[in-house]
Structures are given as C-alpha cells and as structure tokens.
Chains A and B, each alone.
Chain A
Amino acid sequence: MSTTQEIAAQIREAAKRLLSEGKVDCVIGFAQGTVPMRDYPYFAYTPEEAENLTWSRFCCNNLSNFLIRRPKGEKDKVAIVAQGCVSRNIVGLIKENQITRDQVYILGVASPGMVDRNKVQALFPLKTITEVIEDGDDLIVKGMGFEERVPTKTVLRQNCYTCVMRNPVIKDEMIGEESALTHGGNIDKVAAPWEKLGPEERWAAFQEEFKDCIRCYACRDACPLCYCHVCFVDEARPQWCGKTQEEADVATFHILRAFHCAGRCTDCGACESACPVGIKMRKLTSKIEKDIRELYGYTPGMDLKSTPPLSVYKPNDPQEFIK
C-alpha cells in the first residue's frame, strides 16, 4: 500500500500531465498547510503550480464543495482529487444537476483515513502543537516543550472509522491502488447515539452538543450539499430562523440543515472538520442516514443511476405513524 507521500507524488505527476496537455483548466487538490494537521484546498492552473499539490492524512476538506457554480466557460473543465466519500458527493452533484459528468476529470484515490486534529490536540490539552509528521503507522507530534509518538489509527476522524467506501465510486484515473473497502467500523453500532436515551435526556444531550455553536456556518459552507443560492437561514421574508445564539434558534438551524441533507449526506465529515468549536454534528446527521438506510434501503452517491430516496416513493413505504 503506497504511503501518502507516494500518492502525493503521483498526484503531482498526473496534474502536471493533465495541465500541460490542456485536458483540464485547473486541478483541485490539496497543498500543505501553514499550521499543523490542516492541508488546504489548492487550485493549480499550471504545471508549476501543480508542484504544490500534496496528499496526506490531514486532507479534511471536501473538495467537491468547490465544483459548484464554477464559471461556465467553453473550456472550463477541472480535475479533482477525490477519495471515496468525496467521489460519492460528486455523483450526488451530477444527479442534482449542479455539474455535468464531462466537466470533471476525477483523480480517484483510496482514502487512508483522515486525522481528526481535535483528537490529537485533546491528547495535549492547553499545549501548543507546532508540527505533526506522518511516520509509518504513527504521527510524530511536536510542540512547545514536547515531542510524542501517537498511533495514527487512534486519532482518526469518527466518520473514517465507519467508512463504507474508501475507494472512489467514480473516476477517470486511479492514483495508487484501491484499498480494502472499509476501515472495519460498523456504523450501526455508533450511529444515532441518542436513541438509547429517553426524551428529556435526548434534548439535554442535543443542547449539550450544540451549546458552543457560534453560528459561523462553517459546517454549512464546507458541505458540498449546501449550495442553495439563498440558504434558509438567510431568508428574511419570512425569517424562518432567528440569528441569535439562543437555544431555539441554534436548534432550528442544525435540525433543518440536517434534514435538508437527508438522503444526500455521504458522511464525509467536512462539517465536523470545519467547525471551529468542535461540535460533533454527525451525532445528529447519523440518525437520518440510519433511517434512510433502514427505511428505504438507500446509501447516497454509490452510483449515477439510482434515484434519490426523497424524490421517489414506493407504494409500501412505512406509514404506521400516519393516522
């Protein structure tokens, strides 16, 4: 299995080739961040710029977010580095007519599982981390006054543990080898954690999780599914959702956003990675994904043919709750 550095080199080669042959106008990938554990979305327009492309276990953004509403020019075709969940989002965007298949050239990569920087930081509370390097199966975490070795598999993002598709479901070119499909975690064991609680405890758990929300909308803006020209929170006439930090307003935003992603969310974790205050909103969205799977047998983004579950109905859909 190639290391991420080897994959990075292959991505650079492929990007340089595609750009110099004029096959694409831009390659969307990642470049190395200026802070630890945060590689960032990078747009390479020339083979020289393609030298900056990288790949690592710190690539936590969902690049398909940047495919939407690109200026439509005659020649505008982009290449994008996409692992499993990201490629499923690309499928979703094509199905929802936000992009066309021939607009994207997909450089598929098997996901190694991305690191959750909050988990790493939590191992060193209040300390400043200055550098994190991948070293085999470990991370070397350096900081002000310390250096430690941490096994990478203990600090992955939650959604990566229960990944159902590490390999790209759609691609034009494969970078590196395909890997085992999943990381081995069973999503049904951890999805919807509040189901075990009674109604009062559920509300308390919900409030506890979202109490730090500062309404920055980083979760919404990092999400490839959220591309409405006017988001429901930005509507003023009528105003569906208050802009304050109060309980009911914060709850309304998160409940409705989760609902709008029903049947479309691929559990890529970009929302949790973007959140500046570390809210685990997947505790909410995982309930919807579980319902969609159990009630309608659908997993979003696996292929271009299947119809989104909330756009169809079957005569025998469950309806015992309707009187």
Chain B
Amino acid sequence: MFARRRFAVLKNLLEYVGIEPGRLHFSWISSAEATKFQETVLAVTEAVKALGPAKHMIKDIRKVA
C-alpha cells in the first residue's frame, strides 16, 4: 500500500524524462494468482516489444568511449 504512492511518483518521473509510457507497468498480483501473473507477464512483454529496443538509459560498454 505504501508502495502505491512511490510507484505513482516514480512512474510520473520516468515518463517525465522521456521513458516511453508503456515501458513501465504496474500490477497487483498475489502469489495465489498464478493465471493473472502469467497473463500480465505476457501482456507486458508484448507491450514492451511493440515499442522496440530501448533507446534511453542504455549503457553499452562496447559503444561508449
């Protein structure tokens, strides 16, 4: 419950700096809700894949100096 507020602030902050909405997802899932967990993971994976490779907050040590 306390985390809810932190999620809200964090999500807004990350979207504010330009991380695309759709890269960050939240869901309440209890350990007893296996089906919901599976469905959510699949949905999030699809959504993020659709956005393509992340362009921001990437540190690729091959590329940088």
User: A194 touches which one: B1, B5, B17, B28 (CB < 8 A)?
Assistant: B17
Q: Is the CB of A259 within 8 A of B13?
A: yes
Q: Could you mark each residue 6-23 of chain B with 1 if its beta carbon is under 8 Å from any beta carbon of chain A, else 0?
A: 111111111111111100
Contact B4 A319 (CB under 8 A): yes
Is A255 a contact of B25 with CB atoms below 8 Å?
no
Do residues B4 and A203 form an inter-chain contact, with CB atoms below 8 A? no
Shortest distance from the beta carbon of A232 to any chain B beta carbon, whole Å:
14
For the complex, is A323 an interface residue (Cβ under 8 Å from B)? yes
Interface size class of A (residues with CB under 8 A): 35 or more
Task: State in angstroms the CA–CA spacing of A317 and B7 once bound together.
Answer: 11
Contact B9 A252 (CB under 8 A): no
State the total of A-B contacts with C-beta under 8 angstroms: 100
A106 at the binding interface (Cβ < 8 Å) = no
Q: Are A310 and B5 in contact (CB under 8 A)?
A: yes
Q: Mark A288-322, 1 if CB is under 8 A from B, else 0.
A: 10011001100000000000011111000111011
Smallest distance from the beta carbon of A187 to chain B beta carbons, Å? 16
A207 to B5 alpha-carbon distance, docked (Å): 27
Contact A199 to B13, CB < 8 A, known contacts A248-B59, A322-B4: no
- Whether A322 and B26, one on each chain, are in contact in the complex, defined by CB atoms closer than 8 angstroms, is yes
| Pick from B4, B9, B28: contact of A291, CB under 8 Å | B9
Residue of A nearest to B60 (CB): A248
In the complex, besides A199-B20, A203-B56, 4 extra interface pairs with C-beta distance below 8 angstroms are: A204-B18, A259-B9, A262-B13, A322-B28
Complex A-B: 15 CB contacts under 8 Å: A195-B16, A199-B18, A199-B19, A199-B21, A202-B17, A203-B18, A206-B17, A248-B59, A287-B16, A295-B9, A310-B9, A313-B2, A317-B4, A319-B4, A322-B26
**Interface on A for B, CB 8 Å cutoff?**
192, 194-195, 199-206, 242, 244, 246-249, 251-252, 255, 258-259, 262-263, 284, 287-288, 291-292, 295-296, 309-313, 317-319, 321-323
